Amino acid sequence: MSLLHYFLYKILAALVRTTVSLRRGFRPLRTTPDVTIRIPSRELPRTIKAHIYRSTSTGPSPVLVNFHGSGFVLPMHGTDEEFCRLISRQTAYTVVDVQYRLAPEHPFPAAYHDAEDAVRWVFQQRQQFDRSRVAVSGFSAGGNLALGMSSLPPVAWAGDEDEKEKAPPIHATVAFYPVVDLATSPAAKFAPDPNGRPLPKWLMRFFDRCYIRGPFDTRDPRISPFYADAQGFPRRVLIVTAAGDSLAEEAEALGRKIRERVEVGEGENRVVVQRMQGCNHGWDKEAGPGSVGEDAKDKAYAMAVALLT
């Protein structure tokens, strides 16, 4: 991408971010995590901000690492607080909600590296967390990152050479309306429900172009988890889609691939793909009291709780 194109995308990103902020009445997003921490990154002295929602577990607790939605562009850290708090209260899991870097200022692989660094840090905290039960979750672009993390081999989380044969894998994955195939043009993606309100195709193209700059293969599993080896995913996976979302079918297709893989394996298999009818992309963040969206949100979050318990 030329310098001119970069500045153009940066201006457009500022406009889109301002529009999102305007919808909130320019009110700052208020969050109440138990603790806010800074996780070391691979680019010291830079650190990665994260919110901690503590469970009531005694001793090392299982841990869920969450990645917010963003289109890889929008500053939405904290919008998953309701989900994070619910998980910490209804399961034994402590939740680490990660703020990763955003494009176009920080294109791929910046967000991916932040996600990787955060998960690796969690695995290294033996006194705080049960390393045999490290799970990941994410919404939209964050779901992309969660699925990308969960497809990596256990050696990715080893702290040193001596650990490489002992590092445990990711225990479970929860992904809400994730984007999993950036190799397919948004123009070729359609919502299953013709009456739905999918993300505008121009906006999806804009997000993709902000995130992917340079000669990257968009079929790289780090960019598009759809193309990851299905053998690499955990045996506990929940993928929740929305009928009014043009990202639904690619996420459901990935879920089927994972399910087919685990059905021939050994051990407990819990791969669930659930489409929420009457819902659009990001529906849970706008669900009003008594609405179809609220019922779907309650069901989806309860499914996540069930997967983790």
The two tokens of residue 229 are: 């080896």
- Which residue carries 């929420």 as its tokens? 276
3-state DSSP assignment of residue 64: strand
- Which residue carries 């079929």 as its tokens? 219
**CA-wise closest residue to 121 among 111, 109, 129:** 129
**Maximum alpha-carbon separation in the chain:** 55
Query: How much is the pLDDT for 164?
Result: 61
Identify the structural domains of the chain with CATH numbers, from first to last: 31-308 (3.40.50.1820)
DSSP structure class, residue 287: P
Query: How much is the pLDDT for 190?
Result: 97
The two tokens of residue 72 are: 């890889």
Query: How much is the pLDDT for 178?
Result: 99
| Residue 120 backbone phi and psi in degrees, to 5 | -60, -40
Query: How much is the pLDDT for 27?
Result: 66
Q: DSSP of 222-276, one letter per residue?
A: TT-GGGS-GGGS-SEEEEEEETT-TTHHHHHHHHHHHHHHHHTSSS--EEEEEEE
- How many CB atoms lie under 10 A from the CB of residue 30? 7
Contact between 4 and 21 under an 8 Å Cβ cutoff? The reply is: no
Any bridge partners for residue 129, and if so which? 61
What is the Cα–Cα distance from 98 to 112, expressed in whole angstroms? 12
DSSP structure class, residue 67: E
- Which residue carries 């997967």 as its tokens? 307
Rg of the chain over Cα atoms, rounded to whole angstroms, equals: 18
From residue 214, alpha-carbon distances to 118, 179, 188, 195, 221 in Å are 25, 20, 23, 36, 16
Contact between 68 and 50 under an 8 Å Cβ cutoff? The reply is: no
- How many CB atoms lie under 10 A from the CB of residue 134? 25
- Residue 51: partners with Cβ closer than 8 Å, 6 or more residues away: 31, 33, 35, 36, 77, 78, 81, 84, 96, 97, 99
What is the Cα–Cα distance from 128 to 137, expressed in whole angstroms? 19
| Residue 277 backbone phi and psi in degrees, to 5 | -75, 150
* CA distance between the termini of the chain: 46
Query: How much is the pLDDT for 23?
Result: 74
The two tokens of residue 111 are: 């967000």
What is the Cα–Cα distance from 147 to 222, expressed in whole angstroms? 9
Average confidence (pLDDT) per 10 residues, the chain, 309 residues: 78 88 72 96 96 91 98 96 98 98 97 98 94 97 98 87 72 98 97 96 96 94 97 96 98 96 64 97 93 96 97
